[in-house]
Structure 1
Amino acid sequence: MKGPAGGASSGREGGRSLKTRVKTARKRSLSSTLWLQRQLNDPYVAQAKREGFRSRAAYKLIEIDDRFHLLRPGMKVVDLGAAPGGWAQVAARRVLAGEGRGGVVGIDLLPIEPLAGATFEVMDFHDADAPERLKALLGGPADVVLSDMAANATGHKKTDHLRIVGLVELAAAFAAEVLAPGGAFLAKVLQGGTEGELLAMLKRDFAVVKHVKPQASRADSSELYVLATGFRGAP
């Protein structure tokens, strides 16, 4: 996948730059201005609007699934950190949830607009009862557990890394409880990958574990994904 338009773009035509620059408003911080400028100049954001996806993140899952074939018709999928629903849209389409053949269960701290074939709940995954509530919504084993959860950034690289690894550990432990044999787990981590203890746990529970960085991830982002496939089944 070379890019949203199928090929690379220089951002220039006829010698004129097409990049949009955003003026700093009095009440807008520099970081907010830079984020807005990235959004306005991001081809994946533009394509998501054209194609009806709720977020540019949809293209990350599309790219990973095109490569590793995680999602198939009839599967049950859990989406942790689902808002605004970009990954759930992709999953629902590929498992044919809208046709009643599969299903998607998603949770987030924020409310999510309804989606055919998906069930969304406002829920904090840190809550002690969250796993049991999710299992009740699933009504049986899951085939794929997705986690795009991210802790709020502190600006301290090591702290942020440890916090997101903690989230992935929770998600991986949940996946080991709900996945059917042969199932898959995909979760966001940060550059540097998974910690030794987490990696050992995933290698114990899954046949294949690898790190993936889709092209749809921004080049300047430390974002990375850990993909574990071939769940061995609960001990």
Structure 2
Amino acid sequence: MSRTTGRGRGGTGKQRVKTARRRSAASTRWLQRQLDDPYVKAAKADGYRSRAAYKLLELDERFDLLKGVKGVVDLGVAPGGWTQVVRQKCPNARVVGIDLLPTDPIEGATLLEMDFMDDSAPAMLKDALGGPADLVISDMAANTIGHKQTDHLRTMGLVEAGLDFALEVLEPGGAFVAKVLAGGADKALVTQLNRNFDSVKHAKPPASRKGSSEWYVVAKGFRGRDREGDAD
């Protein structure tokens, strides 16, 4: 399988989408964008399941997230691009992923098909991981309904749930990465992140489409839990 470093993704010309009687205009635009997207082409060439793999590669290049990690939890794993990157760069790490959607098996990773918001999910993830995590990554996002405030609140609810889980499983010094929407994490969440991590930053990796509202919050240097096992 070929591997690229992300260079040379400038396209060689646009491909035209053939029209179909029952295809909507929105569907045609989506297909055209996929055909023209250099990251989609690179993912196919590199064997990644989605262009999202390059988002994690770029975040890792900037923040050095994957160096030496031994335990990783991937929240919102489907279709598996982020876990593919983790397995490629950290072949000896324990990796557990979870998603409502089915995810084809990935060698060396344990994948759970269930809702992360299910009360039993955190315990099942911990059991599958079999120890603490060095990194919790979340590409989860709520299905949008077109109302910006509601969409933001629903996605931030997932981010907060992911952070609560991360505070339970991370080793001191560990990191948490989560997708947020334009504007970044809200004030209360940033306060909680700053209270528990040495460094908190927002980033939009180049692989995120320019028109997308997604950003990522990157928190590094988990300060650990107190003597009773709770985060500060």
Q: TM-score, normalised by structure 2?
A: 0.91
Give distance in 1, aligned partners of 2:24 and 2:154. 25
CA distance in 1, matches of 2:225, 2:6: 42
- In the TM superposition, residue 160 of structure 1 has moved relative to its aligned partner by 1.1
1:68 deviation in Å? 1.1
Q: Where does residue 170 of structure 2 map in the other structure?
A: 179
CA contact (8 A) 1:77 1:144 kept: yes
- Residue 194 of structure 1 pairs with residue 194 of structure 2: no
Distance 1:119 1:107 in 2: 9
**Conservation of the 8 A alpha-carbon contact between 1:108 and 1:121:** yes
Partner of 1:143: 134
1:224 to 2:215 alignment: yes
Between the aligned partners of 2:209 and 2:181, the Cα distance in structure 1 is 13
Which residue of structure 2 aligns with residue 113 of structure 1?
104
- Kindly tell me: are residues 93 and 49 of structure 1, through their superposed partners in 2, closer, same or farther at Cα, counting changes over 3 Å? same
2:60 maps to 1:59? no
Distance in 2 (CA, whole Å) between partners of 1:191 and 1:65 is 21
Identity %: 61
Aligned to 1:225, the other structure's residue is in SS state strand
Q: Deviations over 1:117-170 (max 9, x none)?
A: 111010101111111111111111100000000111111122111111111000
Give the secondary structure class of the aligned counterpart of 2:219.
strand
Change (3 A) 1:119 1:208: same
Aligned-pair distance for 1:27?
Answer: 2.5
Q: Distance in 2 between matches of 1:24 and 1:163?
A: 35
- Letter of the 1:155 counterpart: G
| SS of match in other structure, 2:84 | helix
Mapped to 1, the partners of 2:6 and 2:214 lie a distance apart of 22
Q: Are residues 1:211 and 2:202 paired?
A: yes
Gaps of 5+ in 2: 227-232
Q: What is the CA–CA distance in structure 1 between the aligned matches of 2:69 and 2:76, rounded to whole Å? A: 22
Distance in 2, matches of 1:53 and 1:135, equals 26
